[in-house]
Amino acid sequence: AGESVYMDQQPETRAQMEFLESIYMVSGANFHDGAEVVNYPFDTWQDLHADDEWYRETSGEYAATAQQGSGVVKYMESVRFPDGITNGWEWYFTEGSRQDWINYYYHAREVTIEITEEKHPPASELPYYWFYNYPSLLRYIEQSLFGIQGMIKDKDTGEPLQATIRIQDHDKLGSQILSDSPTGYFARLIEPGIWNLEISADGYEDLQINGVESVRDQACWLDIELSSLDSDIRNRQSQKISGIAFLTGSELNLPVNNAGVHGIYIYDLKGKLVHQYYKNYPSTGRYMYSLEGTGLPSGVYILKIITPVDIQSYKIFKLQ
């Protein structure tokens, strides 16, 4: 049985996760106190993020701008962090951080910015920290306008598509990104270089685009069209996904093609997220997935399984 992603979590955590699931985010930051440093991923793993070079550059620029512009001697320039940046795991190990969730599961970019050595500074001091940090923050936001960006659409209909965009021989630990399902827009923040892109979407032929150049402080725009699979393949795929029914109203025999942590999402036919779980599968195979306590009425739903490797979609029928 799966465990609810919201089980045993604080209301603030639930609210943030629900909000993030309702939007398309390219990059973000969360602010703490207790140190003066920009903390970049990961907190949980010793392995470096695939875009570690981009994170070091972007975090270093944030800290340097704050150091120079604040007018405060040694701001974001402590003995522990003379450059004002740190890898999370090198600083201290922690599990369940927001930045790791956003990077690994949500497939966006996020850092943690510690703005003061003082724990719980009085509210009267907050305007000073805003003054110290706002030029850096505006520049950090500007970074989301650069990198490899574009739109992904159906070649025949022009309909926007949600697709997975992967950098060949580069992405790992969830660093691939998704395009926005309502618009087809995507933004892949990445260090300067020449990259080969792999684009995939359910029901469409995979596409590879080679030699895409990312230039510092510029956006490389791509208009991408994906071709539908031929009718025979579509029919086979339709047969594969349309015969799932909840005879008991509580369990689904779920195919697991990739081991690891899966995000399991259920949408109604209007596209509203109605149920969400995370589950760690130790190996491939078929598993029983419990839907007890979901309160879903009878009807047709779309099941999406998002893994660090791919996205799988199924049409499911819930019967009383």
- 201-216 burial: b if 16+ Cβ within 10 Å, else e: bbebeebebeebebee
Q: DSSP readout, 239-253?
A: HHHH-EEESSSSEEE
Measured from the Cβ of residue 90, the count of other Cβ atoms closer than 10 Å reads 11
Name which of 3, 138, 18, 172 is nearest 66 in CA terms.
138
Q: Which CATH number fits domain 231-318: 3.20.20.140, 2.60.40.3080, 3.40.50.12500, 3.60.10.10?
A: 2.60.40.3080
**Strand (E) or helix (H) holding 20:** helix 11-21
At residue 8, the pLDDT reads 62
pLDDT by residue for the chain (320 residues), tens only, comes to 334 444 567 888 888 888 888 889 999 999 999 999 999 999 999 999 999 999 999 999 999 999 988 888 889 999 999 999 999 999 999 988 999 999 999 999 999 999 999 999 999 999 999 999 999 999 999 999 999 999 999 998 888 999 999 999 999 999 999 999 889 999 999 999 999 999 999 889 999 999 999 999 999 999 999 998 853 444 433 333 334 544 345 566 666 777 777 777 777 766 677 887 777 777 777 666 666 556 777 777 777 777 767 777 777 767 66
Work out whether the CA dihedral 291, 294, 300, 304 comes out positive or negative: negative
At residue 300, the pLDDT reads 74
At residue 233, the pLDDT reads 41
At residue 189, the pLDDT reads 98
Q: Where are the domains of the chain?
A: 6-143, 147-226, 231-318
Question: Distance (Å, rounded) from C-alpha 172 to C-alpha 209?
Answer: 19
Q: Which CATH number fits domain 147-226: 3.90.1150.10, 3.40.50.300, 4.10.110.10, 2.60.40.1120?
A: 2.60.40.1120
At residue 277, the pLDDT reads 75
Fold: same for 147-226 and 231-318: yes
Contacts of 68-72 spanning 24+ positions with Cβ under 8 A: 69/132, 69/135, 69/136, 70/131, 70/132, 70/133, 72/132
CATH architecture type of domain 6-143: 3-Layer(aba) Sandwich (3.40)
At residue 236, the pLDDT reads 36
At residue 247, the pLDDT reads 39
